[in-house]
Amino acid sequence: MKDEFWTRGVLGLAKRMIIGVDIGGTTIKVALLDELGNIIAKTQIPTPVPEGEDAIIHQMAATIDQLMEEHGFSKEETYGIGIGVPGPVDIETGFVYEAVNLGLKDTALKAKTEALTGLPTYVENDANAAALGEMWCGAGRGTDNLIAVTLGTGIGGGIIIDGKIVHGVKGVGGEIGHVTVNPDGPLCNCGKKGCMERYGSATAIILGLEKAAMEGRSMYLAKQLAEKGSLTAKDAFDAAAEGDSAAQEVIDQAAFYTGFGLSHIANLLNPAKIVIGGGVSAAGDVLFKLIRKSFDTYTWKIAAESCEILPATLGNDAGVIGAGWLVKQAQVM
Ligand SMILES: [Zn+2]
């Protein structure tokens, strides 16, 4: 059975498909995957957030139907649907406690999707889904003890121990962005002070740049801000490459606190890999070296030496692939 499965998969002759969905505040991404996590086809639609939860679920289901039809797959040839959503989830029941960006609260997403599509459905938090995607097909391949971190508008995270996501009792396990890295630090959206997210996210970096520009500490950034009206995290790295010391300071601080926050996770969990994605991670080596330096300073030597820190490789596809993994784990293996 297993041999047959792998052979069919490798030859690309898989007869049954997996559907991976990533519902974000802006778009709903839907992908048709084979049993190895290869994307056969994908599409996306705008998320109808103002129209409410039923519209979101109906339009998602319609998009799934359309994609399957376009590529000649029937429901009988589909294992099921995996969905990632931006908020805490009860994975047993597929119940979404809250997804602020989607306007969902206490939504029976699994039950409603199954009723509409007739396909078994599995729901997971989107950052956790991205972590599973990287484990299955990305930079995390080869280990089942890894941490995935997304440095984007905020900082998302997923913790996988022995192949399983750590959810905790209310689905907020793995919220790495809210690890406190400075008890006297700036206020975070979560209501606490000094969260890692307030230093390592794109939002935090941009705030640091704007402050430097407005306080007259960087002519370069002040000029950029005046010309463009706003700054991006990429501007920090461009300015630093030009020798701008204020931008370098912002980057140093972001990397220091990110590495410091990750050291706590590594000291607790001893992962084999920490996979870092999101817009900020595009800065590459410059950033990774600084994070590594801080991480090594605060991580117990054995844990530090046994942990690779790597860029994520799946980009925006990590979510749909990881959502597909939920189906594979439940239905295929
Ligand atoms: Zn926070």
The domain 139-313 having CATH identifier 3.30.420.40: the answer here is yes
108 Cα: distance to centroid of ligand 1 (angstroms): 27
Residue given tokens 């960006």 in the structure block? 101
- Domain covering 17-126, topology: Nucleotidyltransferase; domain 5 (3.30.420)
280 Cα: distance to centroid of ligand 1 (angstroms): 18
ipTM of the modeled complex: 0.99
CA distance 31 to 324: 9
Is the predicted pLDDT of residue 101 greater than 90, yes or no? no
Do 139-313 and 17-126 have the same topology in CATH? yes
Pairing of strands 95-99, 104-108: antiparallel
Is the predicted pLDDT of residue 12 greater than 70, yes or no? no
Phi and psi at 174, nearest 5°, equal 80, 10
176 Cα: distance to centroid of ligand 1 (angstroms): 9
124 Cα: distance to centroid of ligand 1 (angstroms): 21
Mean pLDDT of the chain: 93
Start-end of H helices in 118-244 = 126-137, 197-200, 202-214, 219-228, 233-241
Question: pTM value?
Answer: 0.90
Is the predicted pLDDT of residue 328 greater than 90, yes or no? yes
Give residues whose Cβ lies within 5 Å of ion ligand 1: 178, 188, 190, 192, 195
Q: Tell me the domain boundaries of the chain.
A: 17-126, 139-313
320 Cα: distance to centroid of ligand 1 (angstroms): 26
